[in-house]
Amino acid sequence: MSLARRPSRPGGPAADVVKNGTAPGAAELCFRARGVTKVYGEGQAAVHALRGVDLDLPEGEMVVVLGASGSGKSTFLNILGGLDTPTGGEVLFRGQDISRANQRQLTEYRRRHVGFVFQFYNLMPSLTARENVALVTEIAEAPLAPEAALAMVGLEDRLDHFPTQLSGGEQQRVAIARAVAKQPSVLLCDEPTGALDSATGVRVLEALKTVNDDLGATTLLITHNAGIADIADRVVLFADGRVREVRVNRAKKQPREISW
């Protein structure tokens, strides 16, 4: 499987609300999911995490994914990120099927295309901010300099600090810098503000927005927090293992205009 890099930043959104999640006529799709199911366990103990998800996500958008616990949003994000494979259906990344890739191909996919931001940062405690970013740039093809990535999230004066010397928000911004330093095609964030207070969370969202604007990476942001949806180009609402609604924001807000 060859998942070649392609220039990003395609055309804009197509419709206000699309019931079934697909975006008709979108020329440059980042992800295209059809009939995606995911079942954990077997027989009576089987848990249907995804019950047939259809979704098209255009390149370069900021997408906020909302849904209650157990709605399937994290499972779906894991599949898009190449951490997991679906039980049924197909997922295309820029036209290439990643739903049937093997472990080695998925590792390669994550390495070349995907940046992750975790709820609990997951920084390497033994490495400084700069080194945490360098960890990823050393295995990337066309990375930003670690210093540039950290400057992008406003941490240019915290380069040689260890995680323990940084606040929660700062740690999360290092994590964002780490995720974007390899100039990923896709940035996946699972509850990136979940462990942060409102003011700190806003700074993290600003960093994410900057990255999205500057690099044009398709950004998916999972959250419980409906307020955050206002900064998105597109809002996807998960319920009961399916996409219940996709809404396109005509009037995006700036992160500093929201709070929770």
Partner 1 sequence: MIPWPAWMGALDRMLVRDLWRMKGQALTIAFVIAGGVAVHLLAAGMLSSLQATRDAYYDRNRFADVWAPVVRAPEHLLPDIRAVDGVQTAAVRIRVPALFEPPGTVAPSTGEVLSIPDEGEATLNRLHLVRGRLPVSGRSDEAVALQAFADAHRLEIGRVLPVTLRGGRRNLVVGTALSPEHVYAIGPGQFVPDDRLYGVLWMRRSALAEAVDQDQAFNEAVVRLSRDASEPAVIADLDRLLAPYGAPGAYGRKEQISDAFVSSEIDQLTTMGRVLPPVFLLVAAFLVNVVITRLIAVQRSGIGLLKAFGYRDRDVVAHYLKLVCVVAAVGVLIGGAAGTWFGRSMAEMYREYYRFPYLLFEANPADYVVVIAVAAATTLGGAALAVRRAAALRPAESMTPATPPDFSRAAGGRITRMKVLDQQTRMILRQIIRWPGRAALTVAGVAASGALLIGSLSMLDAIEVMIGSSFDVSNPHDVSVTLVEPRSRSALFSLAREPGVLEAEPFRTVAVRLRHGPHEERTAITGAPLDGTLSRLVDRDDRPVDPPPGGLVLSSDLAAKLGVEPGDRVEAQVTEGRRPLLNLPVTAVVDSYVGSGARMQLEDLNRALGEGPLISGAWLGVDSERTDDLYARLKAAPTVVGVGLQDEAVRRLAELIDENLGVAIFTYVGFASLIAAGVVYNTIRISFAERSRELASLRVLGFSRADVSYILLGEVVVLTLVALPLGAAAGAALAWYLAHAMSSDLFRLPFAVSPATFGLAGAMVLAITVAAGLLVRLQIDRLDLASALKTGE
Least spacing, CB of residue 96 vs partner 1, in Å: 17
Neighbours of 160 (CB within 10 A): 10
Least spacing, CB of residue 112 vs partner 1, in Å: 7
Least spacing, CB of residue 26 vs partner 1, in Å: 27
Nearer to partner 1, 26 or 221 (CB): 221
Task: By CB under 8 A, name the binding residues for partner 1.
Answer: 74-75, 78, 81, 83-84, 103-104, 107-108, 110-112, 114, 116, 118-127, 131-132, 134-136, 138-139, 161-165, 171, 178, 182, 190, 195
Least spacing, CB of residue 95 vs partner 1, in Å: 21
Least spacing, CB of residue 162 vs partner 1, in Å: 4
The closest alpha carbon to 15, from 5, 6, 7, 24, belongs to 24
Nearer to partner 1, 63 or 123 (CB): 123
Least spacing, CB of residue 140 vs partner 1, in Å: 8
First to last CA, the chain: 43
| Furthest CA-CA distance within the chain | 55
Least spacing, CB of residue 65 vs partner 1, in Å: 14
Nearer to partner 1, 78 or 225 (CB): 78
Nearer to partner 1, 182 or 209 (CB): 182
Nearer to partner 1, 23 or 33 (CB): 33
- Phi/psi region, residue 186 (left: phi>0; alpha: psi -120 to 50; beta: rest), is beta
The single residue listed with the structure tokens 């323990």 is 164
180-204 burial by CB neighbour count: b if 16+ within 10 A, else e?
bbbbbbbbbbbbbbbbbeeebbbbb
Nearer to partner 1, 20 or 165 (CB): 165
Nearer to partner 1, 40 or 260 (CB): 40
Distance CA 198, CA 259 (A): 6
